[in-house]
Chain A
Amino acid sequence: MNFEMPNFALAMPEMFVLGMACLILLVDLFLNERSRVVTYLLSQATLVGAFILTLSLYTPVRELTFSGTFVLDPMASVLKMAVYAVVFVMFLYTRSYLQARQMFTGEFYTLALFGVLGMMVMISAHSFLTLYLGLELLSLSMYAMVALQRDNRVASEAAMKYFLLGAMASAMLLYGMSMLYGVTGSLDLGEISRAIDEGEIERMLLVFGLVFMLVGVAFKLGAVPFHMWVPDVYHGAPTAVTQFISTAPKIAAFALLIRLLVDGLGGLQSEWHDILVLLAILSISVGNIIAIAQTNIKRMLAYSGIAHAGFLILGVLSGTAEGYAAGMFYVIVYAVMGLAGFGMVLLMSRAGFEADSLEDYKGLNQRNPWFALMVLFIMFSMAGVPPFIGFWAKLAVLQAVVASGLIWLAVLAVIFSVIGAFYYLRVIKLMYFDAPADEARIEPGRELAAVFSGNALVILAMGLFPGALMAICIQAFAL
């Protein structure tokens, strides 16, 4: 048996993040409360470093290493960079929130960085083994982060729910994987794809495995009917953690979907197509309709996230490169909007007060017109009204759906997005048309105010010039 030296260079960013995360874990032990900011700065530096490394490794081709279990292609590079950027901004957002709640600890940052590492492995996985490895690393970090406030009962409950349901979903995924391993004899996505294309395997068995795996993936994406955990966890977790869970991991979940369904089970497209149609319709309808009934803004955003997951699936199910590109564009845009959405909650909160009720937004235009305008941008963007970026994301997805001939599906999706527009409008109504119920001055730190405004303005700017990001996404699937 000859041992081939793997090309370590392709996994440089992963190794760098791993090393830095361990280093930060160590360094943090020797820091006292006042110098904790070093941990924060080191974490940010890690993300910047990883970004630079990934950017320098960018190649327009597809390269495999570690005996074919690790892949670096344009999609992986772009998604990883998106993850770093999103987590970087999330760290910027959450610093003052964490400081005000005694959560500004090394655990938060190291867990987040291990989560990032898990996402990177998932995004670059080319075998069931690495895929699962990355997924579990991410999930375990997130369970722990939700429970970071040990004495908070709601958070502990959310963490417990998340863990139990997540473990079940992982088990489903594993079960599906084991079935496919059983019939194809390989864990390697390329090998599995070849085995399916040869057409000698009983299709029934393959579909059986596929269904179990899809359950696991749908859970991670938060698609209906595997969405039950989303509102509870988003609501129960500290807002800073919610902001993390709702953004970057969605990007990784998109990668999981593409790796499994396209790279591995592309031969079963006619089978997974119908399942995805069902998941998409259910997510868009249930998410948008139940969101209307919410009075808590974190729960409302959770249901809105479910509806957005449906749109993302809509892009993937068309089974074309332009559809995958549209899905990728959607997930990145969603992450940017999700950051802003939960950023708004962080902005309005202050020590000892969580602004997570819709009532807290009443009369914001009277209290602070600038922030009200920024929230208006975010809400209209999420509703998919031009000129904001959310519109282009929906457009790209709908274009792919129409191009694949499913016009009825596109019509259904737009009808539900009109229904969904209602609850976004209600937030604007509360801000602009109602008198304020809470006269306390809104005094976010200058850093938080700047990040939030920047984020909202980016939503507008990207809406006016969406071409560059779209081109990047299309290029990622142009292989």
Chain B
Amino acid sequence: MFADLPLLSLLIWVPIIGGLLVMLAGSGRTGLEAKVLALLVSLLTFALSIPLFTGFDTGTAAMQFTEFKPWIAAFGINYHLGVDGISMPLIVLTTFTTVLVVIAGWEVIKNKPAQYMAAFLIMEGLMIGVFSALDAMLFYVFWEAMLIPMFIVIGIWGGANRVYATIKFFLYTFLGSVFMLVALLWLYGQADSFAILDFHALPISATAQIWIFLAFLVAFAVKVPMWPVHTWLPDAHVQAPTGGSVILAAIMLKLGAYGFLRFSLPITPDASQTLDWLMIGLSLIAVAYIGFVALVQRDMKKLIAYSSISHMGFVTLGFFIPWAIAANTGSFSGAGLGISGGMVQMISHGFVSAAMFLAVGVMYDRMHSREINDYGGVVHVMPKFAGFMVLFAMANAGLPGTAGFVGEFMVILAAFQANFWIAFVAASTLILGAAYTLWMVKRVIYGEIRNQKVAALKDINPREFLILGVLAFMVILLGVWPAPLLEVMDVTVQQLVEHISVSKVPAGAM
């Protein structure tokens, strides 16, 4: 029944057009019509993404659900969509998270709710476009266009210092991506096509690969974000409204990591090999150093923002560990573990960070403070909420049985095959993560009530219970039964490992 529908196009355009309708419907003061419409659109989009999951053929690494239409003939740019085991889970994560964001903003957003909802729906369509684009220029268009709604979201509904944060966010990410644009144009000159799969097959000399790799690195590292270009993230997170933080952490950071898998690794495998020390080094700095930075934060959102950077360090570590493994053991057989681990970490971080930001949002809506010191003893007045918060904190710390554990464990295991010390530093996160997360929980949730405002708090309402409950279910499900996710990406990852283990430098050229 679903086989004939252009599913990916629907997934992209239903939320975008829905978002425009929501904007037009939003003239009322309460914006109730707009909110209901936004919820329907987001649910419809989520429903559309389910056949993508159920109809996905896990036995092939080829692109599925492909659509192809010439778009700009003069430049050979095509409207070419498709998904594989890497992008499909991310699309489902996007549609799922957007539903939560729409519900989470239901009563909280008082100022222009229609524009708020519309911005998130449009962003959803654009992000799905990024994940499903198989044409480099189409990818770039979605990639850049996505900045516009995010810029608006942080700028209008953000905190006190929102304008500074949003302009910093926009300019950082814009600067990163224009280098990628130049690299893509160069690749077009070589391949005479903008198809990403043609780029994968294109032989490129070692020197050129290094330059292209660096250009991609700037674009993707800013988005991930990797140390030292991470400084926009804490600012953006702290100032963004809850929904903005959730989308930022759960999806937008994944775009950078996805870029590494779709562009850097397969297009420039030799440069990735040459520079893997750099990537591993930056990842370890993110994991360990940023972990320490998180420890000293007084603002809960900032703490989670830094912990996101630290967790994303695992993702990039997993992606770039294969060559270190190959150098150590002489074969790529353990490489898949690292890449799969990075992927699982991406998905689990999507759920866990969304949950953490939503939990902080629940408290912020009541207290209008994110300062850890303003809280204490929340468990006495909000027992249901405290239960959720503790669970999510455990997941954030990587406790076995939760989603946070699986990916980290796989990456550390892969790192052991490469080098003991890499694994050692990476494993320090188990201690650091536990330290900063649980210390925050101790100060916020437990202890005596020291603030009169806390004493007056009311426990979560059914709407909040629903959101947090669904997330708690996902966090545990992914923690105890990650097999379906691993199965979906297995063949694609194996094929990627095979692809990157072969040099792309043309014979006789250096």
B202 to chain A, nearest CB (A): 16
Q: Given A369-B115, A385-B174, A422-B167: A471 and B182 within 8 A (CB)? A: no
Do the beta carbons of A432 and B147 come within 8 Å of each other? no
Do the beta carbons of B145 and A385 come within 8 Å of each other? yes
A97 to chain B, nearest CB (A): 29
Interface string of B150-181 (1 = CB under 8 A from A): 01100110000011001100110011001101
* B155: chain A residues within 8 A (beta carbon): 428-429, 432-433
Q: Which of B71-79, B229-237, B481-489 contacts its partner? A: B71-79
* B73: chain A residues within 8 A (beta carbon): 467, 471
- A203 vs B115: C-alpha distance when bound (angstroms): 63
Do the beta carbons of B186 and A425 come within 8 Å of each other? no
Q: Is B185 an interface residue (CB 8 A)?
A: yes
Do the beta carbons of A398 and B171 come within 8 Å of each other? no
Interface string of B89-124 (1 = CB under 8 A from A): 000000000000000000000001001000000000
B331 to chain A, nearest CB (A): 37
Q: Is A395 an interface residue (CB 8 A)?
A: yes
* A429: chain B residues within 8 A (beta carbon): 155, 163, 166-167
Interface string of A390-401 (1 = CB under 8 A from B): 011001101100
Q: Is A19 an interface residue (CB 8 A)?
A: no
Q: Is B57 an interface residue (CB 8 A)?
A: no
Q: Is B148 an interface residue (CB 8 A)?
A: yes
- A244 vs B361: C-alpha distance when bound (angstroms): 51
Interface string of A110-145 (1 = CB under 8 A from B): 000000000000000000000000000000000000
- A355 vs B484: C-alpha distance when bound (angstroms): 60
Q: Is A47 an interface residue (CB 8 A)?
A: no
Q: Given A369-B115, A418-B171: A470 and B72 within 8 A (CB)? A: yes
CB within 8 Å: A-B pair count: 90
Query: Interface majority SS on A: helix, strand, loop or mixed?
Result: helix
- A478 vs B28: C-alpha distance when bound (angstroms): 54
Interface string of A402-427 (1 = CB under 8 A from B): 11000100110011011001100100
- A309 vs B163: C-alpha distance when bound (angstroms): 30
- A396 vs B182: C-alpha distance when bound (angstroms): 11
Do the beta carbons of B74 and A471 come within 8 Å of each other? yes
* A84: chain B residues within 8 A (beta carbon): none
A interface size (C-beta, 8 A)? 35
* B71: chain A residues within 8 A (beta carbon): 467
Do the beta carbons of A425 and B181 come within 8 Å of each other? no
Q: Is A474 an interface residue (CB 8 A)?
A: yes
Do the beta carbons of A418 and B178 come within 8 Å of each other? yes
Contact of B141 among A386, A417, A474 (CB under 8 A): A386
B177 to chain A, nearest CB (A): 9
Do the beta carbons of A386 and B140 come within 8 Å of each other? yes
Q: Is A387 an interface residue (CB 8 A)?
A: yes
Q: Given A385-B145, A385-B148: A414 and B171 within 8 A (CB)? A: no
* B151: chain A residues within 8 A (beta carbon): 425, 428
Contact of B147 among A369, A385, A414 (CB under 8 A): A385
Residues of chain B from 121 to 157 with CB closer than 8 A to chain A in the complex: 137, 140-141, 144-145, 147-148, 151-152, 155-156
* B462: chain A residues within 8 A (beta carbon): none
- A466 vs B79: C-alpha distance when bound (angstroms): 13
B121 to chain A, nearest CB (A): 15
| Chain B residue, CB-CB nearest to A385 | B144
- A415 vs B174: C-alpha distance when bound (angstroms): 10
| Chain A residue, CB-CB nearest to B175 | A418
- A467 vs B23: C-alpha distance when bound (angstroms): 29
- A402 vs B144: C-alpha distance when bound (angstroms): 20
Q: Is A380 an interface residue (CB 8 A)?
A: yes
A267 to chain B, nearest CB (A): 26
- A396 vs B77: C-alpha distance when bound (angstroms): 12
A385 to chain B, nearest CB (A): 5
- A158 vs B178: C-alpha distance when bound (angstroms): 38
- A468 vs B268: C-alpha distance when bound (angstroms): 34
* B145: chain A residues within 8 A (beta carbon): 385-387
- A380 vs B152: C-alpha distance when bound (angstroms): 12
Do the beta carbons of B72 and A466 come within 8 Å of each other? yes
Do the beta carbons of B189 and A402 come within 8 Å of each other? yes
* A395: chain B residues within 8 A (beta carbon): 75, 137, 181, 185
* A414: chain B residues within 8 A (beta carbon): 178-179, 181-182
Do the beta carbons of B178 and A417 come within 8 Å of each other? yes
Do the beta carbons of A398 and B170 come within 8 Å of each other? no
Q: Given A385-B145, A425-B167, A467-B74: A399 and B140 within 8 A (CB)? A: no
Q: Is B65 an interface residue (CB 8 A)?
A: no
Contact of B182 among A391, A411, A432 (CB under 8 A): A411
Residues of chain A from 46 to 94 with CB closer than 8 A to chain B in the complex: none
- A398 vs B140: C-alpha distance when bound (angstroms): 15
| Chain A residue, CB-CB nearest to B181 | A414
Do the beta carbons of A402 and B163 come within 8 Å of each other? no
Q: Is B188 an interface residue (CB 8 A)?
A: yes
- A417 vs B163: C-alpha distance when bound (angstroms): 20
* A474: chain B residues within 8 A (beta carbon): 74
- A398 vs B162: C-alpha distance when bound (angstroms): 33
Do the beta carbons of A410 and B182 come within 8 Å of each other? yes
A431 to chain B, nearest CB (A): 10
Q: Given A386-B145, A387-B145: A432 and B156 within 8 A (CB)? A: yes
Do the beta carbons of A398 and B182 come within 8 Å of each other? yes
| Chain A residue, CB-CB nearest to B73 | A467
Do the beta carbons of B156 and A433 come within 8 Å of each other? yes
Q: Given A398-B185, A403-B189, A417-B178: A387 and B163 within 8 A (CB)? A: no
- A414 vs B144: C-alpha distance when bound (angstroms): 14
* A398: chain B residues within 8 A (beta carbon): 181-182, 185
Residues of chain B from 468 to 507 with CB closer than 8 A to chain A in the complex: none
- A386 vs B145: C-alpha distance when bound (angstroms): 5
- A421 vs B170: C-alpha distance when bound (angstroms): 9
- A334 vs B234: C-alpha distance when bound (angstroms): 37
Contact of B152 among A385, A402, A415, A432 (CB under 8 A): A432
Contact of B72 among A376, A428, A467 (CB under 8 A): A467
Do the beta carbons of A387 and B74 come within 8 Å of each other? no
B451 to chain A, nearest CB (A): 31
* A466: chain B residues within 8 A (beta carbon): 72
Q: Given A422-B167, A425-B151: A470 and B75 within 8 A (CB)? A: yes
A86 to chain B, nearest CB (A): 22
Interface string of B186-230 (1 = CB under 8 A from A): 101100000000000000000000000000000000000000000
| Chain A residue, CB-CB nearest to B155 | A433
| Chain A residue, CB-CB nearest to B162 | A433
* A392: chain B residues within 8 A (beta carbon): 72
B68 to chain A, nearest CB (A): 15
* A402: chain B residues within 8 A (beta carbon): 182, 185-186, 189
Interface string of B26-42 (1 = CB under 8 A from A): 00000000000000000
* B152: chain A residues within 8 A (beta carbon): 428, 432
- A432 vs B72: C-alpha distance when bound (angstroms): 33
Contact of B185 among A369, A385, A410 (CB under 8 A): A410
* A418: chain B residues within 8 A (beta carbon): 171, 174-175, 178
Interface string of B53-85 (1 = CB under 8 A from A): 000000000000000000111110000000000
* A428: chain B residues within 8 A (beta carbon): 151-152, 155
For the complex of A and B, 9 pairs with smallest distance between CB atoms: A414-B178, A386-B141, A470-B74, A467-B72, A402-B185, A433-B155, A418-B175, A386-B144, A410-B182
Given A380-B148, A391-B141, 11 other A-B residues pairs in contact with their CB atoms under 8 A: A365-B112, A385-B147, A385-B174, A399-B189, A414-B182, A415-B175, A421-B170, A425-B167, A432-B156, A433-B155, A433-B163
A/B interface sample: 25 pairs, CB < 8 A: A365-B112, A365-B156, A376-B148, A385-B148, A386-B140, A386-B141, A387-B145, A395-B137, A399-B189, A402-B185, A402-B189, A403-B185, A407-B182, A407-B186, A411-B179, A414-B178, A415-B175, A418-B171, A421-B170, A425-B167, A428-B151, A428-B152, A428-B155, A429-B166, A471-B74
Binding site for B on A (CB under 8 A): 365, 369, 373, 376, 380, 385-387, 391-392, 395-396, 398-399, 402-403, 407, 410-411, 414-415, 417-418, 421-422, 425, 428-429, 432-433, 466-467, 470-471, 474
